[in-house]
Structure 1
Amino acid sequence: MVVCGDDGLAHRLAAELRGVYEEQVTLVVPPAERTVRPPVVGRARAVSAALLDRMVSAAVNRAAGNGTPAAAQSEPAAGQRMLEAVEATEAVLAEAGVERAAALALVYDDDETNIRAALTARRLNPRLRLVLRLYNRRLGQHIEELLDQAAALATGGAPGDGPLGDGPLGDGGAAGDASTTVLSDADTAAPALAATAVVGTSKVVQTDGLLLRAVERLPAAAGEPDPPGLPTLALLSANLNDPAFADGSEASGEQGPLLLPDAATVREAAAAGRRGSVVLEQVAYSAGPALPSGRGVGVVAPLASLFSQRLRWSLAGLVGCVFALAVALWLATGIHPLGALYLTLLDLFSVNDPAIGSTTARQILQLLSGLVGLLLLPVLLAAVLEAMGTFRGAGALRRPPRGLGGHVVLLGLGKIGTRVLIRLRELNIPVVCVEAGPEARGLAVARRLRVPVVLGDVTQEGVLEAAKIHRAHALLAVTSSDTTNLEAALYARSLRPDLRVVLRLYDDDFATAVYRTLRAAHPQALTRSRSVSHLSAPSFAGAMMGRQILGAIPVERRVLLFAALRVAEHAQLDGRTIGEAFRAGYWRVLALDTGREGQGGSGLVWDLPDTYVLRSEDRVVLAATRRGLAELLRRRGRRDAGA
């Protein structure tokens, strides 16, 4: 794997590939990055010193053969080789070994730099799996199609149809599927931020528009039946409550976590009552009332909001007077009640002839009706003007309603905040936004979704109170300023000590320090501090492993992978029942994708009976260990090579 970047995402992605997927990584960063301490994620796999020496020597020899070295090499870290270069030029990419790599990630902060390097890398290795970080989403779609088409022409196949080979999880080399994936750190971080604000965890997997989270169930509840269609994925260590174990140390004599156990093992653990379990459940929200959403919302204001309460009472009073006059005319003249109402309306609008020669009662009623008509004219004019003003303001920003509670207060409607807002509304979660700039890009989205917005500096007193922070479910601070996010969180804590707080912080070390301090100061409240690179790296790493990888969820010191596979390409699944396809400790089929591939439709069926027979045309979502997924992809690669 080759990773090229100029910020924290490159280091985080390299660490994710080493610690989660146990991959060999070459990291290309600018020379200034030597002074930056890279973040540490997970447990990196040690690579033998002899292998590293051979890699470095070969690279040096190649650079020396070309005259001037293309990139300076730093001391190799555990499981990775680092090159220092200002830009990912053709010489630098060749030095990094792109011709033999399985995948290349270009995560520079500049779109043009990533595109230029991607075009060069595709020419050097048409079968390379490319992952690009682009902020321009529309341009990204065109670049993805262009690079896939170039790979198809170079390899003589359809875009994305190249064989996986042994794959990066196997043992057989660097053959890839020649696919191109364009990602944005804003899009990849939004689901995890939304899930953290709702359920307090970023251990989520996104598939088919759903957010699934890993839930740890206590040993006392481990004997309860599993959720429908979502079996037990892991049994936690028996020593999970040991303080030494919580600090990351191994306790001797105790069994570690068991991934994908069979039913008998789960029953034994439940009977013993000493081990918790991990299951998947859909991220749901029930802390507050839902806000209206959907197409057409925000175009027409609700009827009750067209007129003020005072105007509605005035109209009701005048209508009552009209009916009272009609009843009096009916009693005075004895005509039919409908006729009396008709004559009263004529008098009211001064349409009828004067009641000359009629009884005194009729004349008095006609005068009263005319007086009521005079009173009605200004009320009708006020109603028309107020309704016009309401329609003009229907597209304006809404204010938080008085009775709102249990909502999420979202600070910042920039690139990240806009994506998070859309994700929260897709989950039908009530949101109140706070934005300082009246020209922020997310205000149009908030207006379209009819989400209440408070315009003002969140650091000023009274802004969070206007967002109903005292009745909120969570505070999600995702502005571009770390100090603003921290100040808002501390002020919200002073208003409500038990509030759930999620902070977006740029620096990983700073995020860790803030989390520990807030947790120590407010142990009864849930606090999460996340950097965008921390939340984006798993999605980028999954894309580098192949489009079939949906995500990874850590279970203590081990990792559980989730993938979407075609049954026809795996002999271990084709023609077998769900029960027969399950292999304890290796893989388990979780859901069936009922959508037709290539037609844009997709729907997952989670409650699958063990007797269901997997057909060749089926696509499934499965959970697997690293060893299990490596075996699935390796056997597929060997069959493709033989064909």
Structure 2
Amino acid sequence: MAEPLRDRARRATGWRLRMNGDERPHFVVCGSDPLAYWVVRALLATDGAHGQVRVTLVVPERRRSEGPDGRDVPGVRVVRADRLDEATFRRAGLADAAGLALLHQDDVGNMHAALCAQEVEPRLRLVVRMFNTNLADGLRQLFPDSAVLSDASMAAPAFVAAALGELAPTHFRHAGRTLYVARRADVRPQDVVCGLAVTGDPELVRVLPADEAAADVVLAEATGQPPGTELAARRLVRARRRRQPVEVLLRAVRSFATRKIGIAVLVLLGVIAVLGWLNARAAEVNWSEALYLTLVTTLSGQDPDVNKPVAAQIMQVVLNLAGLALIPLITAAVVDGIVNARLALHAGRIQPDRSGHVVVVGLGNIGTRVMAQLHDFGVEVVAIDRNAEARGAALAHRLGVPLIVGDAGREETLRSASVDTCQALVVVSTDDGTNLRAALIARSLDPDLRVVLRLFDGDFAERIQQAFGIGISRSVSYLAAPSFAAALLDRAVIATIPVDRHALLVTEVPVVAGSPLDGRPLGTVARPGEVRLLAHTRVGQKADWSVDPRMVLQAGDRLTVVARRAGLTALLRETTPAPPPAPTGPPAPREAAE
């Protein structure tokens, strides 16, 4: 069982903390992208009013992107280094740290950095960002006191839920109950556990309101009874293919041959048709006989007759010449069409006409998981990526998901994915400019299209959402940061619930002996807008979901709460004893302190 945070901090810091008189837990964060920025912000918000957390951020010498990476956040000590080795970690003060977060987007590099960190401080709390599950399992075996997290796996359900028109992707099991987020109108009143948010006014979303009855977004228990199953039914909306064989055939013919060969064939057929009509009039035969004579003359060049009128002989010669040109053109068109068809099928350009599907742009870490989860829900997916060898391309082929290789910022690419008839567009590439162009072009094709837009900068995402009327824009880093910060602080986060631009944490908090809440009634735990109490568990007993506000708390009790980050920080302050005062005398000798 992992040691409590304060015990680990004191054990790891030892004489250094007493030497400088600083008892604040120290955390080292290594990263240079928005995830590092939001994790640093979350850590500083922890007991920030009392200054009880110190953060050291390790970043490269030069910025690698224009987005925020945490180095400009006030109150953060910044160490610049291009290599995460033992020397860098010693400069960052890792030997007196309570935890280390490795947040670079390089699985192997993060594992190497973890091994180097172990040489500096082997008893360190480690939080590592990883995508490859095999490497993640190996890291957990090497470092038992570690948390290996994936921001992609955390954020992907939020994108999936947004694409399908759901409120939030959260469903979790705790203390024998399965809970999920839903509209109040979609669940039975007896299944509602608590109110989460009031979302009637999109400009003023209120979370954890004092009046629970006013909340239209609730946390409910899944009991297997209708209408709770309606949410699952909506999730399994399957795309419908419109059966228009003529249009599908024309689309296939258009992509079968190149433009020049197609024009040449059409012109030549037009010449043959005109000459055939003239020949039929001269010979005074009906249309079926005229067609027969024209085809035989064109393709075989037979039936020469010197007694024919001069005009008829000239038309026959021209028809024969046209036949000589038509055969190689047909051969060229067939060969060119086969080659183009194979290339188009490989690139996903030949698509049957679809409607009700979901288009996913970008098969990186997030896009790959979004595509896979939508496929698991039975939703038809079309993927777009400019790289045929993208991370999720192999999985797309394995799942049978059509992959269109092209620039999603161009209208023809989006049209080839039938974006004008899809139910949602999920744009999650790593290029904010391409993402924004794709979203705006798709909206021009279908003004009512549901767009789920990924932007790395959370503030930029919110401004785009307001300025362009794009209903949903999400920052992966903002969604995932609370879980990374909680893992670094050794907190048991049960679930993260995104509601609009807010992130609510469901966690279980123990009441420590001597803390301010020890001996106080349960009614003092909840704070409107900050913390809501879900369940109370006494040692040796089952969780009590019918909380009596008059019950007195005891040391060892566990509180299951849903809270905002600031509210959780305040609650942790109330459930933990105050630290002892720093010594005022001269620092103890190193040998004695050790």
1:111: Cα distance to partner? Answer: 3.5
Cα distance between partner residues in 2 of 1:183 and 1:86: 23
Mapped contact 2:409–2:435 kept (Cα < 8 A): no
* Counterpart for residue 289 of structure 1: 237
What is the CA–CA distance in structure 1 between the aligned matches of 2:350 and 2:179, rounded to whole Å?
Answer: 30
2:453 and 2:197 map into 1 onto residues whose CA distance is 31
The equivalent residue for 1:93 is 89
Distance 1:206 1:183 in 2: 18
1:77 alignment partner, SS class: coil
The answer to whether the 8 Å contact 1:7/1:109 transfers is: no
Q: Distance in 1 between matches of 2:120 and 2:232?
A: 46
Secondary structure of the corresponding residue to residue 82 of structure 2: coil
Q: Give the structure 2 partner of residue 61 of structure 1.
A: none
Q: Which residue of 2 aligns with 1:458?
A: 408
Q: 1:29 aligns with which of 26, 46, 59?
A: 59
Give the aligned residue type for 2:41.
A
Question: C-alpha distance in 2, partners of 1:500/1:632?
Answer: 43
In structure 2, which of residues 193, 210, 235 is the aligned counterpart of residue 231 of structure 1? Answer: 193
Q: Is residue 2:488 matched to residue 1:491?
A: no
1:195 aligns with 2:161: yes
Q: CA deviation at 1:122?
A: 3.1
Tell me, in whole angstroms, the C-alpha distance in 2 between the residues paired with 1:549 and 1:91.
33
Among candidates 17, 40, 45, match of residue 43 of structure 2: 17
Q: 1:180 and 2:210 equivalent? A: no
Structure 2 vs 1, CA of residues 227 and 459 (structure 1 numbering), >3 Å: closer, same or farther?
same
- CA shift, 1:493, in A, is 1.0
* % identical aligned pairs: 36
Match of 1:419? 369
Contact 1:233 1:277 in 2 (8 A): yes
Match of 2:304 in 1: none
Where structure 1 has 5 or more consecutive residues not aligned to the other structure, the ranges are 41-73, 149-178, 247-255, 293-394, 520-525, 573-578, 593-604, 612-617, 639-643
Whole-Å Cα distance in 1 between the matches of residues 178 and 416 of structure 2?
A: 30
Distance 1:35 1:558, change over 3 A: closer
* Counterpart check, 1:584 vs 2:584: no
Amino acid at match of 2:110: N
Query: Is 1:478 equivalent to 2:428 in the alignment?
Result: yes
List per-residue Cα deviations over 1:134-172 (Å, max 9, x = no partner): 343312211221112xxxxxxxxxxxxxxxxxxxxxxxx
Q: Are 2:449 and 1:514 aligned?
A: no
Cα distance in 2 for partners of 1:110, 1:121 equals 16
| Cα gap change, 1:287 to 1:403, in 2 (>3 Å) | farther
Cα distance change on mapping 1:411 and 1:627 into 2, 3 Å: closer
Distance 1:108-1:497 versus aligned 2 partners, 3 A rule = same
**Structure 1 residues 36 and 199: alpha-carbon distance in aligned structure 2, compared to 1, 3 A threshold:** same
Is 2:238–2:356's contact at 8 Å kept on the other side of the alignment? no
SS of corresponding position for 2:139: helix
Gaps in structure 2 of 5+ consecutive residues:
1-26, 223-230, 241-344, 515-520, 549-556, 581-594
Shift of 1:410: 1.1
Which residue in 2 is equivalent to 1:59?
none
Deviations, residues 96-115 of structure 1 (Å, cap 9, x unaligned): 34334332111123344422
Is 2:16 the counterpart of 1:77?
no
Deviation, 1:540, is 1.9
Answer yes or no: is the 8 Å Cα contact 2:357–2:381 preserved in 1: yes
Partners of 1:562 and 1:476 in 2: how far apart? 27
> What is the TM-score with the length of structure 2 in the denominator?
0.56
The alpha-carbon deviation at position 396 of structure 1 amounts to: 9.2
Contact 2:348–2:405 (CA under 8 A) maintained in structure 1: no
Deviations for 1:460-506, whole angstroms, at most 9, x for unmatched residues?
A: 54443343323322100123333332222222111101111122234
User: Is residue 623 of structure 1 aligned with residue 562 of structure 2?
Assistant: yes
The 5-angstrom pairing of residues 19-168 of structure 1 reads 19=45, 22=48, 24=53, 25-33=55-63, 38=68, 77-78=74-75, 80-148=76-144
Is residue 530 of structure 1 aligned with residue 474 of structure 2? yes
Q: What's the offset of the Cα at 1:92?
A: 3.7
Q: Report deviation, 1:444.
A: 3.5
CA distance in 1, matches of 2:464, 2:34: 18
Q: Aligned pair in 2 of structure 1 residues 285, 9: CA closer, same or farther (>3 Å)? A: farther
Matches within 5 A, 1:214-253: 228-233=190-195
Cα distance in 2 for partners of 1:557, 1:482 equals 19
Deviation, 1:4, is 1.3
Q: Distance in 1 between matches of 2:445 and 2:498?
A: 34
Distance of aligned partners of 1:449 and 1:399 in 2 relative to their CA distance in 1, 3 Å threshold: farther
Distance (Å, rounded) in 2 between the aligned partners of 1:10 and 1:136:
19
The amino acid of 1:588's aligned partner reads L
| 1:280 equivalent in alignment to 2:210 | no
Per-residue deviation at 1:546?
2.5
Contact 1:589–1:623 (Cα < 8 Å) also in 2:
yes
Cα gap change, 1:401 to 1:635, in 2 (>3 Å): farther
Aligned match for 2:489, one of 545, 553, 557: 545
Q: Distance in 2 between matches of 1:473 and 1:233?
A: 29
Q: Which amino acid aligns with 1:27?
A: L
Q: Specify the SS of the correspondent of 2:472.
A: strand
1:291 touches 1:451 (CA, 8 Å); kept in 2? no
Does the 8 A contact of 2:172 with 2:180 survive in 1? no
Matched letter for residue 135 of structure 2: L
CA contact (8 A) 1:8 1:39 kept: yes
User: Post-superposition shift, 1:637?
Assistant: 12
Cα 1:590/1:415, change in 2 over 3 Å = same
Q: 1:138 to 1:428 in 2, by over 3 A?
A: same
> Which residue identity lines up with residue 464 of structure 2 in the other structure?
V
Cα 1:30/1:481, change in 2 over 3 Å: closer
Please give the residue correspondences for 1:403-442 in structure 2 after superposition, counting only pairs within 5 Å.
Answer: 404-442=354-392
Residue 2 of structure 1 aligns to a residue in which SS?
A: strand
Residues matched between the structures, number: 415
Q: Which amino acid aligns with 1:584?
A: A
When the two chains are superposed, the root-mean-square deviation of aligned CA atoms in Å is 5.2
Partners of 1:211 and 1:476 in 2: CA distance: 28
The residue aligned with 2:290 is none
- Structure 2 CA distance for partners of 1:538 and 1:607, relative to 1, 3 Å: same
Q: How many angstroms apart in 2 are the aligned matches of 1:227 and 1:538? A: 30
